Every structure is written in C-alpha cells, then in structure tokens.
C-alpha cells in the first residue's frame, strides 16, 4: 500500500478522524442493523475480530458478543494483525460472516495525549504505552531518528550555509538504519551520491546546504557562529529506514513490515502512535481484502469486513472499562450471489449512519449466565 514515498503523506492524510468517531455502545448495534439490511440472517451471523490482545480491547468484544449473540471468533494477532489463514475456520462456524479489524491507540483525556492508557489492574494504576507492541517497534526507529536529528548540524562554513553530517549517517553499505535522501539536504547531491565535502571534521563531513533546505528552513535558522542540531527540522521527506526482521513466524514481522515505509511520517507526526495505528489499519485492510477475495471458503457467503482504529480512552478510578471509540476506515462487502463492493471512509460512515443505533436483539448477558448456572449438571463420560 505504501509502495511510493510520494503517496505516503497523502495516504495518511486521507484517514480522517474528526467527526468520524463512533462510541462502541452505538457502533455495534449499527453494525448489526447494517448487516441485517444487507440480508444477513439474525442468529446466524458469526462475528470475528482482529484486535490486539490488550485488555483494553475486552469491552468492544463484550459488546459484540451481546449484540450478535455469539462470542466473536479470534482472527487477530498482537497489534491488530489479521491472521488471514483463519478465514476457513471462521467461515465454518457461521452462515453469514462479519470480520472487524482494528488497530488501537490509548488516549489520556486529562492531558490530551495519544499512545498511553491507564492500567487499573496495576499496583499504582499507572499510565503505560498503548499499543505497547507498536510502541516497542517504534523505539528502535526513534533512536535512529533522534541520533540523526542531533548529528546533522547547521553551520556556516566560510560564510556559506552548510550542514555537518555525521560519518555514521554517510557510511555505506549498511544493512539497516536511517538513510538520508541527500539531495534534500546537500547541494549537488544526486541520489545516493554526495559531492566532495567543503571540509572534514573528526566525526563528519561539511557540505553546502541545498537550496531546498535553505528555502524550507529559512536563512535565520543557521547560527552566526558554532553549529546547531537540525532537530525536528529533519522532515519525513528527508530520510527512510531499512530494518531486517528476525522472527521465524512471518506474522511476527507483519506489523513492523506494515510500518516500515510510513515510519518517517509516524515519527514526525504530532501523535506517533495514533499515526502508526492508522497506517497499520490501512495496510491490513488492503492485505486482508485481497486474501478474502481469493479464499474459497468465502465463496457464496454473505460477508462484511470492516477495518478501523479503536481509540481507548483511559478509564477513571472506579470504572471497569475504557470508553472506546471506533474510527472506520473502509469496508468490503460480499453478497452470497457474488456481488462485491468496497466502501471508502465517508461512504462507510454514511451507510452506518443510515441505520438505527439501538437494537432489541441484544442478549441479556447477566440473564444468560444466570441460566447457565441453573442448568442441570451434565456428566461428561470418558
């Protein structure tokens, strides 16, 4: 999906959040009613979810079970990765099929910070990274980015605006790391080829700053004496990453693979973990859609596949669950007669908005559990 650098910023910008967030208490009944409007049979719909394993995802799962009358099949891996090899088992468990994929990100309302979540079951009810899997992946890349921000320095060399670039950022060949697009930073650079330096320092080369960089930053950004780190002026367009995964299970590397190309935009965004969750959902929708249309198990079945982002709003002390909001991204519809349709974000929200946000079909979980407790004992014979 993110195969061309020029399209990454545009693609990420297309994932809109404002005015597109649905509370799960309202979203799940709408999803159910929408399925019925498409001809799904009540009581014969097998829901499935591809959520992260985080405990914050439990409340949406409870609501799905309550509305659809079945605990959802587990289609997901940590980070919200879809196990596309589970389409067959999912199809075997129901007449009509629903698959809901969502990456997730925490949100702390007091600070307005994305990427953290209050862990009520911890000793001190502390805030921690959410999604933790995405956060751990980002750490390696952020270390590389922070190093580059500090070790690309702006200075004047004999009156000329220049950049001092650390040897480590120039060294080639390298199997992995942060790689600069030199033409954005250095005058006369072409692709991976640098011009002769203006001067050499003990830890790096000095090059004339590119006209592109000067126009973007402004002449006053360069100090009159000494040097300053380029810092956050190192933009997503200025670099890319290479990193080799090392897991034997390909799905363990899938999340990192999804985030590799958009990582510069993730790191330089206002809310990195939110941007990462959006990017991952976009890739997973595309990847899962293509697997569904090629799965023989889905042939002749009513199917709705919806992908989006779960925003987990940290619970306050005394609350058992987060207030979770769902931001739809896209949907794939398949009718039993073979008709197929893809809905983009605004059209999907419009379709969901056209159906009721309440449903009398919801089961009473407490009553259902109570009935099971009263059920006569059943001997299991060996």
With beta carbons less than 8 A apart as the criterion, state whether 279 and 12 touch: yes
Task: Determine the pLDDT at residue 366.
Answer: 85
pTM beyond 0.75, yes or no: yes
- Dihedrals phi, psi of 119, to nearest 5 degrees: -95, 95
Q: Which two tokens stand for residue 107?
A: 């949100």
Q: What is the mean pLDDT of residues 223-241?
A: 96
Name the pLDDT band for 248 (thresholds 50, 70, 90): low
Spatial separation of the C-alpha atoms in residues 164 and 180, rounded to whole Å? 13
244 vs 188, more confident: 188
Q: Where are the extended beta strands (E) located within the chain?
A: 22-23, 45-50, 73-74, 76-77, 81-82, 96-108, 113-114, 116-118, 127-129, 152-157, 160-166, 177-180, 199-200, 204-208, 227-229, 239-242, 303-313, 323-334, 340-343
Question: What DSSP character marks residue 174?
Answer: -
The structural domains of the chain, with segments of one domain joined by +, span 20-50+97-115+271-369, 140-242
The mean pLDDT value of the chain amounts to 93
- Which has the closest alpha carbon to 222: 273, 151, 161, 172? 161
Name the pLDDT band for 244 (thresholds 50, 70, 90): confident
- Which has the closest alpha carbon to 331: 372, 294, 286, 267? 286
Name the pLDDT band for 246 (thresholds 50, 70, 90): low
Spatial separation of the C-alpha atoms in residues 106 and 131, rounded to whole Å? 7
Q: Which two tokens stand for residue 275?
A: 């941007």
Question: What DSSP character marks residue 209?
Answer: B
**What's the burial of 115, exposed, middle or buried (CB within 10 Å: 0-12/13-18/19+)?**
buried
Spatial separation of the C-alpha atoms in residues 356 and 224, rounded to whole Å? 64
Q: What is the mean pLDDT of residues 113-123?
A: 89
Task: Look at residue 1 and tell me whether its pLDDT is greater than 80.
Answer: no
Q: What is the mean pLDDT of residues 340-354?
A: 97
Task: Determine the pLDDT at residue 123.
Answer: 82
- Dihedrals phi, psi of 178, to nearest 5 degrees: -90, 130
Spatial separation of the C-alpha atoms in residues 107 and 273, rounded to whole Å? 10
Neighbour tally for 323: CB within 10 Å: 17
Spatial separation of the C-alpha atoms in residues 165 and 171, rounded to whole Å? 11
pLDDT > 90 in the chain, percent: 80
- Dihedrals phi, psi of 191, to nearest 5 degrees: 60, -125
Q: Which two tokens stand for residue 347?
A: 């059209």
Task: Look at residue 25 and tell me whether its pLDDT is greater than 90.
Answer: yes
pLDDT in tens, 78-88: 999 999 999 99
Spatial separation of the C-alpha atoms in residues 282 and 313, rounded to whole Å? 22
pLDDT in tens, 180-219: 999 999 999 998 799 999 999 999 999 999 999 999 999 9
Q: What is the mean pLDDT of residues 87-98?
A: 96
Which residue has 């589970």 as its token pair? Answer: 86
């Amino acid at each position: 999906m993110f195969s061309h650098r020029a399209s990454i910023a545009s693609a990420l910008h297309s994932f809109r959040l404002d005015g597109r967030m649905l509370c799960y208490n309202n979203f799940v009944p709408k999803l159910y009613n929408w399925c019925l409007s498409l001809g799904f049979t009540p009581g014969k719909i097998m829901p499935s979810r591809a959520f992260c394993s985080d405990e914050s995802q439990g409340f949406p799962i409870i609501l799905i079970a309550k509305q659809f009358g079945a605990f959802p099949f587990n289609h997901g891996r940590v980070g919200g990765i879809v196990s596309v090899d589970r389409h067959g088992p999912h199809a075997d468990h129901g007449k009509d099929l629903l698959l809901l994929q969502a990456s997730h990100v925490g949100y702390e309302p007091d600070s307005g910070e994305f990427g953290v979540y209050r862990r009520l079951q911890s000793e001190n009810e502390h805030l921690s990274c959410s999604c933790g899997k995405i956060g751990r992946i980002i750490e390696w890349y952020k270390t590389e980015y922070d190093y580059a921000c500090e070790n690309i320095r702006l200075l004047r060399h004999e009156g000329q605006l220049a950049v001092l670039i650390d040897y480590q950022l120039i060294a080639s060949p390298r199997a992995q790391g942060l790689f600069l697009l030199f033409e954005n930073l250095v005058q006369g650079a072409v692709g991976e080829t640098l011009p002769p330096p203006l001067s050499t320092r003990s830890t790096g080369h000095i090059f004339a700053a590119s006209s592109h960089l000067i126009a973007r930053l402004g002449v006053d950004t360069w100090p009159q004496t000494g040097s300053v780190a380029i810092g956050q002026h190192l933009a997503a367009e200025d670099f890319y990453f290479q990193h080799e995964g090392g897991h034997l299970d390909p799905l363990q590397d899938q999340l990192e693979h999804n985030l590799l190309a958009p990582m510069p935009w993730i790191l330089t965004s206002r809310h990195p973990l939110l941007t990462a969750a959006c990017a991952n959902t976009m890739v997973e929708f595309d990847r899962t859609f293509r697997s569904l249309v090629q799965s023989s198990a889905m042939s002749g079945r009513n199917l709705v596949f919806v992908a989006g982002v779960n925003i987990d709003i940290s619970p306050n002390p005394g609350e058992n669950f987060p207030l979770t909001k769902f931001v739809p991204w896209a949907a794939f519809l398949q009718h039993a007669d073979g008709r197929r349709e893809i809905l983009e974000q605004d059209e999907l929200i419009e379709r969901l908005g056209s159906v009721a946000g309440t449903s009398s079909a919801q089961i009473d979980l407490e009553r259902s559990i109570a009935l099971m407790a009263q059920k006569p004992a059943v001997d299991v014979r060996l």
